[in-house]
Structure 1
Amino acid sequence: MFKFRLERVLQLRISEENQLKLELASVRARMRILQEEINSAQQMLYKMSQEVLQDPSRGLSGNEIHQWRSYVEATENYIRKKLQDLKNLKSEEDRLKEKYLEMRKDRKILENLKAKQFKRYAFEQDRLNRLYMDEIALRKYARR
């Protein structure tokens, strides 16, 4: 019976790789959410600007202009913060991706080693079976 001595190490590598894959998926999901938040904030800012610019005849009081400018600045700060968060998540994604590729490479090495050892084991078993069959044939032939 074939027994790979490093089977536990291989299983550990596989589970670590799967865990890292889940982490990477989580980071990518958070990146999508952040991107959607940024897009909605930018659209809201654009709509507000269009509303102010579309009705210039209405005239805005100084207080309304000040409130509008404060809101625009707050929204721009919010967008900048979200872009920074997105940048941080992108660097985290790159780091995790690099680590994942390295772990996948290690796992492939172990799987190739296991395949080679199994091939060697199968060859040895086949050789032993042929020797056994030859011995049986020689004994039968020697009896006659």
Structure 2
Amino acid sequence: MNRDINILVVDDFSTMRRIVKNLLKELGFKNFDEADDGATAWPMVQTGKYQLIVSDWNMPKMTGIELLKRVRADEKLKDTAFLLITAEAKKSQILEAAQAGVDGYIVKPFTAATLAEKLQKVFERYNARLAKKKAASGK
């Protein structure tokens, strides 16, 4: 797992953004930007700078699931790794996130170990998606 990637942390609570960034730092990641909701994040995501988006689900203006759907619908961005963080553990939400193409789903509260485990799975999916795309293009 490359720890020099660019990560966008999206949450409407600054305390939660700080917690997520600190946990990511504990895991060796260094490059972060942050946004306070999906509407603020979307123009940042459109730059194509980020390899990973870590987003809360419940936010004003644009939710994390709406942001995920926009990312997956955009040809240039659709392969971006996406981890949703939420207080909701309802089956219907987990199913909606899976159908929208989320790479990982984590329920609050969580530890650095849980985050590390989820990120490992996120990057396994991300790398598989890139390998499949590369094979399909014949490169």
- Please indicate, yes or no, whether the TM-score normalized by the shorter chain is above 0.5: no
Q: Which structure's residues are more often helix, by fraction?
A: 1
Structure with higher Rg: it is 1
TM-score by length of 1: 0.23
Q: Which structure's residues are more often strand, by fraction?
A: 2
TM-score by length of 2: 0.24
